[in-house]
Chain A
Amino acid sequence: MTEHPSSPEHHHQRPGRAPPLVTGAGFLRGARLALPVMPGMMAIALATGASAARVGLSFGENLVMCATMFASASQLVVFELWPDRFTPDAVLGLALIALTVNARMLLITASLRPWMGGLPAWIYPLLHLTSDPSWIVSMRYRNEGGTDAGVFFGASVLLASFWLCFTQLGFVLGALVSEPRRWGFDLIMPVFFAAMLVPLWRGRRNAVPWVVAGAVALAVERLVGGWYFIVAGAIAGAVTGGFVDDRRD
């Protein structure tokens, strides 16, 4: 709340050669930054576990799927299309859905590179714990001048473990938890995501890519359908950002 925007040299041009700081204090700070989305994470996790039970997965299958995929949006979509017979075509189809719904992760972890490129290879297993909210709170911290990569790991570990616990609870409780809408739990993620635009704001010139991204996403969603709209919009925004220079407006 009292944090000031960083000095201009802070958030541009910082090639990630030298390893960034990773501290325990940063880890705890990341966990704290992730707290506001925990109710939303809980609601999504409960719904994911309940859907797995509904389509007939065993406890073990659901546990392994949640631990190895850790991707609610794609898991909820594949459960809507869960086949009776697992022919190779069906397996391929499910993998393609997981690919398209999760393709935004490609862009999300790409954006981490300038910050964390200097870290050794142990970052690769940890990238598995990347989630939309852990990434957005970390980018917000980074945008405000922070450099401690522990923030990203703290937020990611906290949210992933919390999510995994509640997917299992959702599986056990099943239909009991299928009404997250009444209290607005289903909207926590979009509200939090959108609210993060406020601390990311750096003036009108830097918001031009956001407008392009939103417009392209909307058009693709309308004209093409499916799940391509997030990636299409985000790429359009990023390309626009590449052309918008850094002059102040």
Chain B
Amino acid sequence: MTGATELGTGLGPALGTDLGVWIAIAAMAAVTYAMRAGGFWIMGRVPLTAPVQRMLAALPGSIVAATVLPLMVNGGAVVALAVGAGVAVMLTARNDFLAVAAGMAVAAIARAAGLG
């Protein structure tokens, strides 16, 4: 009863590294699956009224914008150029492969040239 700081963490020091790794993996896997199944499950319990449908319809573009914009701002010129090239090729050629290839090529060239 001396280690007062370890009270409340019952398993604390006794948790072997191997066992601890497995417990951590199980916990992370459980919460990750809960996210994947949870969104679908919750929306099965929410009436899909017109505003809710519009919210769900706005999600794909919103998730893309919320993911990519901070990445572009933080990634500097190379990321902005690569993403810009991909979108420009998509707009003109409407081809996913060409868009990805253009983005990669621009990134590789810009980095070889010493940018970012």
Contacts and interface: CB of A to CB of B under 8 A. Distances in A.
Contact of A238 (B62, B89, B90, B100): B62
Interface stretch (A19-27, A110-118, A164-172): A110-118
B61 A94 contact: no
Contacts of B83: 187, 190-191, 194
Contacts of A114: 43, 48, 53, 56
A110 B39 contact: yes
Given A191-B100, A191-B104, A213-B63, A91 B24 contact: yes
A130 interface: yes
B65 A94 contact: no
Contact of B59 (A124, A187, A237): A237
Interface string B1-41: 00000000111110101011111111111111101111111
Interface string B66-98: 111111111000110011011101110111110
A8 interface: no
Interface residues of A, number: 110
A35 B61 contact: no
B51 interface: yes
**B contact residues, range:** 35 or more
Contacts of A229: 66, 70
A230 B66 contact: yes
The 5 A-B residue pairs with the shortest CB-CB distance in the complex, in nearest-first order? A86-B20, A241-B58, A237-B62, A233-B66, A191-B103
5 contacts: A87-B15, A98-B31, A209-B62, A213-B63, A238-B56
Given A105-B39, A196-B64, 13 more contacts: A68-B26, A68-B29, A90-B24, A91-B23, A112-B40, A183-B104, A190-B71, A190-B82, A194-B64, A194-B83, A197-B87, A230-B66, A234-B66
Interface of A: 1, 11-13, 15-16, 33, 35-37, 39-40, 57, 61, 64-65, 68-71, 74, 78, 84-92, 94-95, 97-99, 102-114, 116-117, 123-124, 127-128, 130, 132, 135-136, 139-140, 143, 181-185, 187-188, 190-200, 206-207, 209-218, 221, 229-234, 236-246
